[in-house]
Amino acid sequence: GAGVSQSPSNKVTEKGKDVELRCDPISGHTALYWYRQRLGQGLEFLIYFQGNSAPDKSGLPSDRFSAERTGESVSTLTIQRTQQEDSAVYLCASSQDSSGNTIYFGEGSWLTVV
C-alpha cells in the first residue's frame, strides 16, 4: 500500500502474555519510528531505526520491550510478559531519511492488557 501499515489494529491480551506488533513502512523509507500513546496522553518515543545504523533504543521503557527491523523493511515491536500499564496505542511511522523529511504515521495498534 501507499501508507504505513500496522497490524493488528486491535489486540486484547491477558496479563503476562507476549505480544508482537508489526509495522510495514512506506517503500523506500529508511527511517522507522515506534511511539506509544496512552489514553489522553501525548506520544512517547520508544525506538528509532535509520538504515543500517544501530537503532536508538533510548525510549524503550523496560527490558520487556524490544524491536527488530529487517533491513529497510518490516519492523516488529515485541512486548514480553505484558502488564496492564502497557495498554496503549502503539504508533509506527516512517520517513525517507533522518534529515527532517515529513514523517508519516500508521493508524496504530491498540493494545489492551486485561
Partner 1 sequence: SQQGEEDPQALSIQEGENATMNCSYKTSINNLQWYRQNSGRGLVHLILIRSNEREKHSGRLRVTLDTSKKSSSLLITASRAADTASYFCASILGMGKLIFGQGTELSVKP
State the amino acid at position 3 in one-letter form: G
Round to whole Å and give the CA distance between 20 and 12.
Answer: 12
Residues in Cβ contact with 21 at an 8 Å cutoff, skipping those fewer than 6 apart: 6, 7, 8, 11, 76, 77, 78, 79, 90, 92, 109, 111
Asked if 107 is part of the footprint of partner 1 (rule: CB under 8 A), the reply reads yes
Q: Work out how close the CB of 24 gets to partner 1 at its nearest, in angstroms, rounded to a whole number.
A: 14
Chain positions 37 to 66 lying near partner 1, rule: CB under 8 A, are 37, 39, 41-43, 45, 48, 50, 53, 56, 58
Asked if 100 is part of the footprint of partner 1 (rule: CB under 8 A), the reply reads yes
| Farthest-apart Cα atoms in the chain, separation | 40
Asked if 111 is part of the footprint of partner 1 (rule: CB under 8 A), the reply reads no
Residues that bind partner 1 (CB under 8 A): 4, 31, 33, 35, 37, 39, 41-43, 45, 48, 50, 53, 56, 58, 89, 91, 93, 95, 97-100, 102-108
